[in-house]
Amino acid sequence: MKKTYILTLIFSIALLLLPYATPVNAQSSSTGAPGTWVSSINIQNMSSTSPANVVLQFYNAAGNNVLSFTVTPAIPANGSRSLYVPAEIPGLSSGQFSVVASSDTPIRVVVNSSSSNPSTAGAYEGIEAGETATTLYFPGLYNNYYGFYSEIIIQNADSSDANIQIQFYNQKTGAAVGSPYTATLKPGASNVFVLSNLAPSLPSGNVNGLFAAKVTSDRKIGGIANIWTSAKFGEYSSYNGFASGSDKIYVPALYNSYYGFVSSLTVQNIGASPTTVTVTYSNGTTETFNLNPGLSKELYQPNNASLPSGNVNGVFSAKIEASAGSSVVAIVNVEDKTKGSLASYNGSALTGTKIGCPVVLKSFYKWFSAETVQNVGSNNTNITVKYASGQTRTFNNVPPNGTINVIELANAGSVLPDASSVAATFESSGEPLLVVVQENSNERYVTTPGDYLLAYTCKPIP
């Protein structure tokens, strides 16, 4: 049975403004983030028995299928493939496209995007067809909020035109801001909504420029948010829109001056009733607060005096618990303020004893990755990493709400060969896990300072 996934792909050698069918309400066909963008598509075959025959369909903003690309050879069982779009997708012109990926085995997809001038990077997860929805939520969006800007990219996952509405909310009060923005998207197509282009009806600045958004549609959609600032050498990050929430969410990687990294955790109540939220950090510290419907709260870890800081104790995981039956979502922003690095990832309730991560790196064109694995169960567990290239590594007796940090560097015990870009599977001896992957390039920073930090959240393997 063929599985279908969608992903919104930023690809350009030189960004071109493509025509689109129905230009309304300042929607655009290309990102508003500065830079010249290129992307890689990273695919993991989750089948342990069958190869994955994958076809990528590229769509422009008018909904035209501009290229059908068959990934050859087939991706072997438990294997992976990374496709650098400019070099490995022949016949695709410069521009920004959305993609529909189909496969005859279950797959996971992650897109890494990077720009030059400024040098920035971000990552997000491909969206399985079963994960698309008629409502999406974005808890953290910015319009010149302390220099940060945002855009949301919405893709039509249906075979008919999608009529969408985007309602923005003041993140601090939960109040709706202005009237909904409307647009029509062709099947397979995506459009970009840059918040700064929606002014003057969408306010900006340090007081009023902080938002959440709810996107509704008469067809199933998927979407991502991009964040950027011109601070330092330029910073950029991406996260996935949420189709639903939960009363229990986990975040594996939070920081308080940990090797220069700090973090913020934003929690939004997307339910219809008020809820009480408790955040329990891995060192035992708790924070409790109330959220009315639509309201968000940002917790900046350096502002919590009960959290230790520094290179030894300044790293945490957390469990987010809302009132039973409530529905909350969460994102984490990670920043190195000294270097000027930014990454975002989704908090998740999707945990399991076997987690698939489509791409980890060791000395791959000067990139490496760090995988943070959180034990979200109630007992100690052993965690084994199995790489698509055949290597394995095991960590024993990881405590509840505890983490391991698998750093793919030779001096940190990585078992991967140099020049590796492969998928990794994390298996526990019994307790559920959640994994976040962060990628970075200290070597590139030395010669061309910029934001080389990106992150994504891995998903369970059925």
CATH architecture under which domain 3-130 falls? Sandwich (2.60)
Hey, where are the domains in the chain?
A: 3-130, 132-240, 248-346, 354-460
- Amino acid at residue number 324: A
pLDDT band at 6 (very low <50, low <70, confident <90, very high): low
The class level of CATH for 354-460 reads mainly beta
Q: At residue 235, does pLDDT exceed 60?
A: yes
Residue 426 has pLDDT above 70, yes or no: yes
Structural contact between residues 320 and 285, judged by C-beta atoms closer than 8 angstroms: no
Amino acid 18: pLDDT: 25
Average confidence (pLDDT) over 222-242: 95
pLDDT, mean over the chain: 91
CATH says 248-346 is which class? mainly beta
Q: Is the predicted pLDDT of residue 39 greater than 60, yes or no? A: yes
Q: Is residue 22 very low, low, confident or very high in pLDDT (cuts 50, 70, 90)? A: very low
pLDDT tens-digit series, residues 241-299: 999 999 999 999 999 999 999 999 999 999 999 999 999 999 999 999 999 998 999 99
Residue 21 pLDDT > 50, yes or no? no
**Is the separation of the CB atoms in 361 and 387 below 8 Å?**
no
Using the Cα atoms of residue 318, residue 237, residue 294 and residue 8 in order, give the sign of their dihedral. Answer: negative
pLDDT of residue 131: 87
Asked, colleague to colleague, whether 248-346 and 354-460 share their fold, the answer is: yes
Q: What's the CATH fold of domain 132-240?
A: Hypothetical Protein Tm1070; Chain: A (2.60.290)
pLDDT at 94: 85
Query: So what's the pLDDT on residue 8?
Result: 54
